[in-house]
C-alpha cells in the first residue's frame, strides 16, 4: 500500500519535473549554427555572428565572445547609459546642451552642418546618435554621462567585451572601442524584453532603432517588408550591424566584421541574414 509520505514524494517529483520543463531553454533552429559558420567562411574578412530569439529562449553564435572594433555600434551602450541616468534622475532627457566650437567633429551626422551654437535636448541627441549615427551628438552624451559610467553600465548588465575607450573621431591615440557579437545581442534582447533600464526606456530605444536611416547590411538579406530595428557601425575595414527582426518569430541578429571592405562585409551580412531567416522560418 502506498503511504501518504510516498504520495507526497511522488507529487513533489512531478512538480519538480514540471518546473524543470518550464525553465528548460528552447532548442535553436536545426542547422542554424552550421549555416552561419558556412556563410562567414565563404566571404573575405573576419566575422563574428550572434543569432538569438528575442525572448532569450535560445541562442547560437560564431566567434560570439571575440572582441571586435565596435565602430558606431558602441552607441547602443552609450544610449543605455543615458537612459539609466535619466531613470535615476542624474539628468533629464529634456535637459538641453549647446554645441561649442570644440564639439564639432567630422564623420557621420547631421549636427555638423549647423556648426556650433545650436542647442539640443538629450532626447534629440539620442535620436541623432542612433538614427543618423551623429558623432557630435554622441560626444555630447559621453561628456554628460561620463566615459567611466558607460563602462560601469556595460559591466552592470553583464557585457564582458564592451569598452568605450575614446570619444568619436578622436584618433589622437591608438586606443579603440570594442564589443562582441554576444554583447550586442544581449543589449538588443534587453530592449525587446523591456529590460533596458525600464519598459519605457526600452520602448524609446526600440523606436529609435526602428527609425535607423542606414539600411545597408543585414536588412538586404531579409525578406522584403521586414521590420528591422538596428544599429550599424563603420570604420576603415570595419562594418557592423545588429538588430531585432520584428516578425512573427522575433529574433536578434548581429554581425561584426574586421579586415573587410564594406562591400565584402555587406555581402557576408546578406548571406548570413538569408540563411538565418530561412532556418528560423
Tell me how many degrees the CA angle 189-194-195 measures, rounded to the nearest 5.
75
Q: Tell whether the model's pLDDT for residue 8 goes beyond 50.
A: no
pLDDT at 115 over 60: yes
**Mean pLDDT, range 49-67, rounded to an integer:** 98
- pLDDT over 90 at 153, yes or no: yes
Is the pLDDT confidence value at 277 over 50? yes
Helix/strand/coil for 246: coil
Query: Among all chains, which residue has been given the C-alpha cell 549555416?
Result: 35
Residue 12 has pLDDT above 70, yes or no: no
* Separation between Cα atoms, residue 109 and residue 136, nearest integer Å: 7
- The answer to whether residues 78 and 164 touch, using CB atoms and an 8 Å cutoff, is yes
**pLDDT score, position 181:** 98
Average pLDDT over all residues of the chain = 92
Is the pLDDT at 168 greater than 60? The verdict is: yes
Q: Are 122 and 137 in contact (CB under 8 A)?
A: no
- Using a pLDDT cut of 90, give the percent of the chain over it: 88
Residues 6 or more apart from 116 whose CB is under 8 A from it? Answer: 99, 100, 101, 103, 104
If you average pLDDT over residues 132-146, what whole number do you get?
A: 98
Which of these ranges, 20-29, 80-89, 105-114, 260-269, has the smallest mean pLDDT? 20-29
pLDDT band at 25 (very low <50, low <70, confident <90, very high): low
67 pLDDT above the threshold of 80:
yes
Q: Is pLDDT above 90 for 119?
A: yes
**pLDDT value at residue 26:** 79
Q: Is 24's pLDDT higher than 80?
A: no
pLDDT at 140: 98
Q: What's the pTM value of the predicted model, to 2 decimals?
A: 0.90
Contacts of range 229-236, beta carbons closer than 8 Å, 24 or more positions apart: 229/191, 231/72, 231/73, 231/75, 231/76, 231/130, 231/133, 232/72, 232/73, 232/133, 233/70, 233/71, 233/72, 233/73, 233/74, 233/75, 233/133, 234/71, 234/72, 234/108, 234/262, 235/69, 235/71
N- to C-terminal Cα separation, the chain: 52
Query: Is residue 3's pLDDT more than 60?
Result: no
Lowest mean pLDDT among 20-24, 51-55, 120-124: 20-24
Amino acid at each position: 500500500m502506498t503511504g501518504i509520505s510516498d504520495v507526497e514524494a511522488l507529487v513533489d517529483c512531478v512538480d519538480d519535473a514540471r518546473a524543470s520543463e518550464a525553465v528548460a531553454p528552447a532548442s535553436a533552429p536545426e542547422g542554424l549554427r552550421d549555416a552561419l559558420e558556412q556563410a562567414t567562411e565563404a566571404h573575405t574578412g573576419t566575422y563574428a555572428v550572434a543569432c538569438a530569439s528575442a525572448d532569450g529562449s535560445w541562442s547560437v553564435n560564431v566567434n560570439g565572445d571575440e572582441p571586435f572594433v565596435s565602430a558606431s555600434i558602441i552607441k547602443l551602450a552609450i544610449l543605455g547609459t543615458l537612459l539609466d541616468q535619466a531613470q535615476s534622475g542624474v539628468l533629464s532627457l529634456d535637459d538641453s546642451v549647446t554645441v561649442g566650437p570644440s564639439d564639432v567633429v567630422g564623420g557621420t551626422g547631421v549636427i555638423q552642418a549647423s556648426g556650433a551654437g545650436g542647442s539640443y535636448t538629450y532626447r534629440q541627441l539620442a535620436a541623432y546618435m542612433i538614427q543618423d549615427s551623429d558623432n557630435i551628438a554622441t560626444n555630447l552624451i559621453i561628456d554628460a554621462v561620463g566615459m567611466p559610467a558607460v563602462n560601469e553600465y556595460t559591466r552592470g548588465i553583464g557585457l564582458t567585451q564592451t569598452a568605450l575607450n575614446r570619444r568619436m573621431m578622436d584618433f589622437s591615440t591608438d586606443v579603440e572601442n570594442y564589443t562582441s557579437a554576444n554583447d550586442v545581442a544581449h543589449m538588443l534582447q534587453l530592449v525587446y524584453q523591456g529590460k533596458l533600464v525600464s519598459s519605457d526606456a526600452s520602448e524609446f530605444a526600440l523606436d529609435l532603432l526602428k527609425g535607423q536611416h542606414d539600411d545597408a547590411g543585414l536588412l538586404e538579406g531579409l525578406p522584403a517588408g521586414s521590420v528591422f530595428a538596428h544599429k550599424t557601425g563603420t570604420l576603415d575595414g570595419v562594418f557592423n550591424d545588429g538588430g531585432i527582426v520584428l516578425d512573427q518569430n522575433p529574433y536578434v541578429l548581429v554581425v561584426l566584421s574586421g579586415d573587410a571592405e564594406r562591400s565584402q562585409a555587406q555581402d557576408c551580412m546578406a548571406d548570413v541574414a538569408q540563411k538565418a531567416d530561412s532556418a528560423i522560418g
